Chains A and B, each alone.
Chain A
Amino acid sequence: MNELLITLALVLVKLLLIFGVVLSLAAYLVLAERRILARMQLRLGPNRVGFFGLLQPLADVIKLLTKEDTVPDRADRFLFLVAPGLAAVTALLAFAVVPFAPPLEIFGRQLPMVVCDLNIGILYFLGLSSLAVYGVALGGWASNSKYALLGAIRGLAQLISYELSMGLSVVPVILSARSFSLTDIVVAQDPLPFAIVHPVAFLIFLISVTAESKRVPFDIPEAENELVAGFHTEYSGMRFGLFFVGEYINMIILGSMVTVLFLGGWHGPFLPPVVWFTGKVLAVSFVFIWVRGTLPRLRYDQLMHFGWKVLIPLALVNVLATGAILLWLKGS
């Protein structure tokens, strides 16, 4: 009984910690993105609110909260109201399986630094990222607007296509780690991160992840100059904010997936594991922002071509090759 209570308390503490850290990280990622993009365009970016603009996220939240929350006429009210939460919650939930440090030894009790070390962590993550499609699809459909609907349709097609290549590019990692658990995968990368062992899979995963987070150059579901704002055209106030926050939480979770699967998770010399983990996640986030500042948006047909004719075949060949090499290594 006592044992159960302690475990429960620890899980709660970890949950709250992750909740707080991820949410504030997401808020500051927005600021960082705005500042970095601005610098890439020789601008300064938001620097008025607080020292160096550090209170800008707070100001944004206050602004969003005080805006009117409109529901369009003849929208599907229930779905319309639920969709943004769906987008944010699925992104947050995925964090449950991300290990951010090796298990800690406190008072003789093994404390895994992950909310829930599922032995099928990767499948859980892939499943949740498929669920995230519902936020986009339902939000777009329920708004009763052409732009939102078009954005949602595009989003659906894009997310489904790129999920394939994402799932396929993870297979080599699972093959070499011989486990679906993210903790085991990180442990398996002790000498060499999988980004070096499986460079092709790494590249495919990075590209699919960018597409998965609906960011430039794959921001077709919200292509501003064609679809106003795509699936969240009709949203206002904090509901729009939820989509927005969900997107950035998604960016963090996908960044940590890249870190865990390919960049060696918490491994690194000198610094404590958590610092290495956070640093790598931030580095991946910077790459996302960098890509956004650099590349133009793909056209819709180009996106589909690239996904189905380049990425997926490449990922399949990669899986075959990795399997063959592993078999050969084992045989010799």
Chain B
Amino acid sequence: MNLWRDIRGTVHPFWVTLRNMLRTPVTIEYPEERRTVSPRCRARIVLTRDPQGEERCVACYLCSAACPVDCISMQAAERADGRRYAAWFRINFSRCIFCGLCAEACPTLAIQMSGDYEMGSRDLLKLVAEKEDLLIDGGGRDNEYDFYRHAGIGVGQVRGAGDEENPPADFRSNLP
């Protein structure tokens, strides 16, 4: 009957709230307790290094182009051995929305999102990170990955010595 259903529907919630009152709260008391962030947490952005300890970033501007709020800027430069790098690299964290598109766009795994989320500040200028602030020592999520072992013409290694690469064919021997 409808009336019975209504009465039950009014009384039952009281039992629900009472039961929930006696359960332990799910709140994490932040400064004292911290939760371990998920491995895919998207917080402070870092620039990683390859296994040789060199900067991975090749200043291709892909992250800068992918960024929806335009907060990455850099200046490309080239070393004597032909390896490209960023002369300066700047992320304005006060504009970053931590969408992770930059990390997704990066072909060299240089730019990555880390789990460090405690970066609030009252001073906006403190939130502008330069390359020195961004560079870390390790390889981030993948310590093994070395971009120049897969691509990069004659920069990381001699021609044809990379993984998934065949030694260069002598085209003269292929002539009929």
**Does A42 sit at the interface, judged by CB under 8 A?**
yes
Contacts of A42 in B (CB 8 A): 20, 23, 25-27
| Contact pick for B25, options A44, A294, A295, CB 8 Å | A44
Mark the stretch among B11-19, B98-106, B147-155 that contacts chain A.
B11-19
Q: Mark out the residues of chain A between 279 and 310 whose CB falls within 8 Å of any chain B CB in the assembled complex.
A: 290-291, 293-295
Tell me the smallest distance from the CB of B32 to a CB of chain A, in Å.
Answer: 11
**CB-based closest 3 A-B pairs:** A44-B27, A294-B17, A40-B17
- In the complex, the answer to whether B21 meets A294 with C-beta atoms within 8 Å is no
With contact pairs A44-B27, A44-B29 given, residues A39 and B21 touching in the complex (Cβ less than 8 Å): yes
- Complex interface residues of chain B between 1 and 45 (CB less than 8 A to chain A): 10, 13-14, 16-18, 20-21, 23, 25-27, 29
Task: Tell me the minimal C-beta distance from A75 to chain B in angstroms.
Answer: 36
A44 surroundings in chain B (CB, below 8 A): 25, 27, 29
Q: Is the Cβ of A38 less than 8 Å from the Cβ of B25?
A: yes
Task: For residue B28, give the distance in angstroms from its CB to the closest CB of chain A.
Answer: 10
Known A-B contacts: A39-B25, A294-B14. Give 10 more (CB < 8 A). Answer: A38-B25, A41-B20, A42-B23, A42-B26, A42-B27, A43-B25, A44-B27, A44-B29, A293-B21, A295-B10
Q: Mark B84-97, 1 if CB is under 8 A from A, else 0.
A: 00000000000000
A131 to B23, CA, bound (A): 42
Residues of B within 8 A of A23 (CB): none
Bound Cα distance A43, B27 (Å): 6
Query: Interface residues, chain A, CB within 8 Å of chain B?
Result: 36, 38-44, 290-291, 293-295
Q: Are A290 and B25 in contact, CB atoms less than 8 angstroms apart?
A: no
Chain A residues contacting B21 (CB-CB under 8 Å) are 36, 39-40, 293
Distance in Å from the Cβ of A319 to the closest Cβ of chain B? Answer: 23
A7 to B46 Cα, complex, angstroms:
78
Number of B residues near A (Cβ < 8 Å) is: 13
A295 and B13 contact, CB distance less than 8 A: yes
Complex interface: chain B residues within 8 A of A294 (CB): 13-14, 16-17
Q: Which DSSP category, helix, strand, loop or mixed, fits chain B's interface?
A: helix
Contact (Cβ within 8 A) B29 A290 = no
A293-B23 in contact (CB<8A): no
- Complexed CA–CA distance, A291 and B14 (Å): 7
A38: nearest residue on chain B (CB-CB)? B25
Q: B29 to chain A: which residues have CB within 8 Å?
A: 44
How far is the CB of A286 from the nearest CB of chain B, in Å?
Answer: 10
CA of A290 to CA of B13, assembled, Å: 10
10 A-B Cβ contacts within 8 A?
A: A40-B21, A42-B20, A42-B26, A43-B27, A44-B27, A44-B29, A290-B17, A294-B14, A294-B17, A295-B10
Complex contacts, B25 vs chain A, CB 8 Å = 38-39, 42-44
CA distance A39 to B26 in the complex (A): 10
Closest residue of chain A to B10, judged by CB?
A295
CB distance from A12 to the nearest CB of B (A): 41
Q: Which residues of A contact B16 (CB under 8 A)?
A: 294
Residues of B within 8 A of A38 (CB): 25
For A290, the chain B residues whose CB sits under 8 A away are 14, 17-18
Chain A: CB-nearest residue to B12? A294
Contacts of B17 in A (CB 8 A): 40, 290, 293-294
Please measure, in the bound complex, the distance between the C-alpha atom of A43 and the C-alpha atom of B23, giving whole angstroms: 10
In the bound assembly, the distance between CA atoms of A42 and B26 in angstroms comes to 6
B70 CB to nearest A CB, Å: 37
- Could you tell me the distance in whole angstroms from the C-beta of B12 to the nearest C-beta in chain A? 10
Task: State in angstroms the CA–CA spacing of A58 and B21 once bound together.
Answer: 25
Residues of A within 8 A of B10 (CB): 295
The smallest beta-carbon distance between A285 and chain B, in angstroms, is: 15
A295: nearest chain-B partner, CB-CB: B13
A331 to B21, CA, bound (A): 50
A40 in contact with B27 given A294-B13, A294-B14, A295-B10 (CB within 8 Å): no
- The distance in angstroms between the C-alpha atoms of A117 and B155, with both chains bound, is 99
Query: Please, which residue of chain B has its CB at the minimum distance from the CB of A48?
Result: B29
In the complex, A39→B29 CA distance in Å? 14
